[in-house]
Structure 1
Amino acid sequence: MYSVPFPVITLFALLILITMALLPEKNRHSGTLRFLIACTVLLSVGMLRWEYESVMLRNIQSVLAILLPPLAWHSFISMTDINKQRRWLLLLLPPAIALLIRMFWPVATDFILFIIFTGYGCDLLRIAWIGERNFTLSRLAESTYPAKMAFFAGCFLCISALTDLAVTFDFRITGGKQAAGMIVIFQMTLLPLIAAAIVSAGRTTVSGKENREEMRPVSVAVPVGEFQGIYCRLEKHVRETQIYLNPDLTLSILARKTGIPARHLSGAVNSVSQCNVSQWINGFRIERAKELLLSTLLPVTDIMLESGFTTKSNFNREFLRVSGVSPTLFRQQVQSNQAKNSGMH
């Protein structure tokens, strides 16, 4: 009864998300697509398994379940500047070991799934805890978003591990009477949400190719304690080059352009300006937006783009944070004050 409508709805939601992920060709995130496709195939195989019990389908489902956590993990880790060799090692080695164990010791499959889901889930929670400075390849305008989504993904994997554990106990106690309902409810409620989160997080990423084309390698070592000097050097570079107008600016690009290691750059901004790098860069963008609002008759949307922002919601939110009013109200207030002053004269 449960296996027909709910998984079909979930599958339909995943197909929509795949379409969404395919649309922005310029900034397409391959890790997101791989994760969504894996989710879709896993859910499809799961639906078939519950309708037509088959050893082959059960084996395929187990293999796909082992591959899902590393794919989810890779969707976020690819936004960081982690060493490539280490990334591929952590991506491939655990599932390879899990598949080998499953091949020679099938009864350990449930335990393997619990370990691999929990392991990658906990690492995503660790990445999220470090915060935005870890996502150096994510646009600074949206750098807080991947950290939040990584936390959500980590919770998803850990809850999934607990669900699998509950299903295992249900089979041992009741023979699996509640297993189908547990799995369907879990898939219906959490899988589309985490998939949507990963699609959204993937959109904030600047491709590695773009970063390599824009940046030059540097090997400048900066002492951690000299935050004030680092900050002055950074601020001078940002103002002189107007690098903040680049809508695809990332912490990695900023670090390489200035020759300051990302962790020192982030520490200097946090220490001196008492805000994160994203908010600090947006402060320059808001200054630029104010100048354009006062000196031109450009529409607010055009000013948003000219100032380095990519979305109106983020522009309005940051403008309100810095100025206390919306861009439109700011322009109206200044024009009103100018009219009053000219009338007095």
Structure 2
Amino acid sequence: MISVPLPLFLTGLAALFGALVLTRAWLAGPAKALFALLAALIMVETALVALRFAYDVQDVLVIQRLLPFWIGPLLYLGYVALSDRAGRLQPALLLHFGLAALATAIVAAWPEIRIVLDVMIGSSYALYALALLHIWRGGPDRLSQLGLAHVAFMRRMMLVGAGLLGLTLMMDTLIALDFARNEGANVGRLLSLASLMLIVILAGAALLSLRNPKTSQPTETPRDEDADLSRKAAAFLTDSRLFVDPQLSLTRLARRLGVTDRALSEAINRSTGKNVSQFINDFRVAEAARLLQETRDAVGAVGEAAGFLTRSNFYSEFNRVMGQSPGAYRKTAPTTGR
């Protein structure tokens, strides 16, 4: 039986990730480029790991030690490009890529400093995992450059990314200790353990995808101007019907209202207890409820017409607002045009 080393399996997963990134039309601009570069880097890194540990090709050791410095920055900057800090992406690129280049140069110049290398790589993984969690804790409205229909998915992927950085940090630490104490005698078992933990993280991501988003609670006492801006946003959405566009983003809505992303996000949160995605989806649910009463269109078609990108998101949000599924609502609601 042909045995495929685990790192080559991860190479295949990275290639799949890269293909998915490149085919997502809604993931445009710098973020797509950064995530595609990340996938390519992981493909090369895991292939080099396979050559080193599975086939004992030690000539790749120097390059294989240099690439990890770029994984965290690429993942983090990809999310910066999707966030409310996208306008400051260029200086962020210079800073983080500059630090990665400096670390790469140090290791390339003094490859024998193994302990320092392990500490530097581990620190990179830890710091960028924390940086991702910082963006995640800012809530859905931090990803203001995304269409609102894609925010929940990318937030789940952010948690997966932070978890994978943490897992890699732990496994690299254990492998470094094994080399120091046992000359790498247990590396094979450690890589197998890493694969099991990877499955756990991916399973956790799948479970997160099934959870319905909870309504945010106001973080501060609402002010009069918050209520005014929320009413202005509601009136604009009602008049323009922009909510039926599934690609509507926080940034786009804020620009139409002549305010900043942050001002709109905070006003809606403080005055309604909802994030912007839930606020807009309330209009979509109301539109879907109207269509369910007045037309004979299929439930899925109603969700699309109301601005929902996926059937699962439509069902989840309709149940959040109406307390029942679209099908159940159609059966009990009074008909006006059917």
Question: What TM-score results when the alignment is normalised by the length of structure 1?
Answer: 0.81
Seq. identity, %: 25
Helix, strand or coil: the match of 1:275? coil
- Structure 2: give runs of 5+ residues left out of the alignment: 210-222
How far apart, CA to CA, are the structure 1 residues paired with 2:79 and 2:194?
Answer: 22
Q: 1:30 to 1:123 in 2, by over 3 A?
A: same
The offset of 1:115, in angstroms, is 1.5
Helix, strand or coil: the match of 1:143? helix
Whether the aligned pair in 1 keeps the contact of 2:295 and 2:337 (CA below 8 Å) is no
User: Which of the residues 63, 67, 81 maps onto 1:60?
Assistant: 63
Q: 1:144 to 1:12 in 2, by over 3 A?
A: closer
How far apart, CA to CA, are the structure 1 residues paired with 2:16 and 2:261?
Answer: 36
How far apart, CA to CA, are the structure 2 residues paired with 1:122 and 1:289?
Answer: 39
Question: What TM-score results when the alignment is normalised by the length of structure 2?
Answer: 0.83
Number of aligned pairs? 313
Alignment of 1:1-345 (within 5 A): 4-25=4-25, 27=27, 29-82=32-85, 83-106=88-111, 108-187=116-195, 189-190=197-198, 226-334=225-333
Which stretch shows the higher mean deviation, 272-281 or 103-112? 103-112
Q: Residue deviations 1:144-173, cap 9 Å, x none?
A: 333333233223212322221221111111
How far apart, CA to CA, are the structure 2 residues paired with 1:85 and 1:35?
Answer: 18
Helix, strand or coil: the match of 1:310? coil
AA partner of residue 119 (structure 1):
L
Q: 1:329 to 1:337 in 2, by over 3 A?
A: farther
Whether the aligned pair in 2 keeps the contact of 1:142 and 1:278 (CA below 8 Å) is no
How far apart, CA to CA, are the structure 1 residues paired with 2:74 and 2:197?
Answer: 20
Whether the aligned pair in 1 keeps the contact of 2:80 and 2:89 (CA below 8 Å) is no
Helix, strand or coil: the match of 2:267? helix
The offset of 1:69, in angstroms, is 1.6
Q: 1:125 to 1:36 in 2, by over 3 A?
A: same
AA partner of residue 141 (structure 1):
A
Whether the aligned pair in 2 keeps the contact of 1:286 and 1:307 (CA below 8 Å) is yes
Helix, strand or coil: the match of 1:74? helix
AA partner of residue 251 (structure 2):
S
How far apart, CA to CA, are the structure 2 residues paired with 1:233 and 1:101?
Answer: 55
How far apart, CA to CA, are the structure 1 residues paired with 2:49 and 2:319?
Answer: 47
Which is bigger in relative contact order (C-alpha 8 A, separation at least 6)?
1
How far apart, CA to CA, are the structure 2 residues paired with 1:128 and 1:272?
Answer: 22
| Number of the residue aligned with 1:206 | none
Q: Residue deviations 1:265-286, cap 9 Å, x none?
A: 1111112212111111000001
How far apart, CA to CA, are the structure 1 residues paired with 2:24 and 2:192?
Answer: 31
